[in-house]
Homo-oligomer: A and B are copies of this chain.
Amino acid sequence: MSIPSAREKFRKFLAQKGLRVTSQRLAIFDAAFARKEHFTAEQLLDYARAIDDSVSRATVYRTLPIMTGSALLREIDIGSGEKFYMPTLEQNTQIAQVVCMDCDRIFEISAPFMEWYGSTVSSKLGLSPVSQRLQVSARCNTLRDTGICPRRDKN
């Protein structure tokens, strides 16, 4: 399992930062890393409470920036009011999102040219790129043709 070792990693990470290792933080971390799809803060609260029901909404919101700030979690804003999160499983920072407007699913695609692009346009403006995000909104062909989205409710 990857969870126990990742948990140890998180424990060390907290100690290293001078942050306390609490049962709530561990539960939130475990909950996040057990997920294979994107999730919201509210969903993370549910998942974490299933592990440790003392976890509160406030602690989830206070723990999320700790995890995103150190790249344990990636934050994805598709402009829908709420933010999505996902465990960082690879080191590739050049990832684009394709958001299906029909099934609301977020697909992640490697986009290696983004880094080059960011540097190119930023330097023209006298700026240094920090991060790039590329998002494609799209509609499902199968749903359009058959009325059924093959991915709907799969998760």
Bound together, the chains give a CA A105 to CA B138 distance in angstroms of 28
Which residues of the partner chain B approach A134 to less than 8 Å between Cβ atoms?
114, 117, 132-135
Stretch touching chain B among A45-53, A65-73, A119-127? A119-127
Determine if B132 and A128 form an interchain contact, defined as CB atoms under 8 angstroms apart.
Answer: no
A79 at the interface (CB under 8 A from B): yes
Alpha-carbon gap, A131 to B125, bound state (A): 25
Which of B111, B114, B122, B141 has a CB less than 8 Å from the CB of A98? B122
Q: Please determine whether B109 and A136 come into contact, CB atoms closer than 8 angstroms.
A: no
A121 contacts B141, C-beta separation under 8 Å? no
CB of A96 within 8 A of chain B?
yes
Q: Which residue of B lies closest to A133 (CB)?
A: B135
Per assembly, the copies of the chain total 2
The count of residues in chain A whose C-beta lies closer than 8 Å to any C-beta of chain B is: 37
A122 to B138, Cβ gap below 8 A? yes
Whole-angstrom CA separation of A139 from B129 in the bound complex:
6
Q: Shortest CB–CB separation between residue A138 and chain B, in angstroms?
A: 4
Asked if A130 meets B141 with Cβ closer than 8 Å, knowing A98-B122, A122-B98, A125-B107, the reply is: no
Contact with B along A73-110 (1 / 0, CB 8 A): 00001010001000000000000101011000001010
Which of chain B's residues have a CB closer than 8 A to the CB of A133? 79, 133-135, 137
Residue positions of A touching B, CB distance < 8 A: 77, 79, 83, 96, 98, 100-101, 107, 109, 111, 113-114, 117-118, 121-122, 124-142, 144, 150
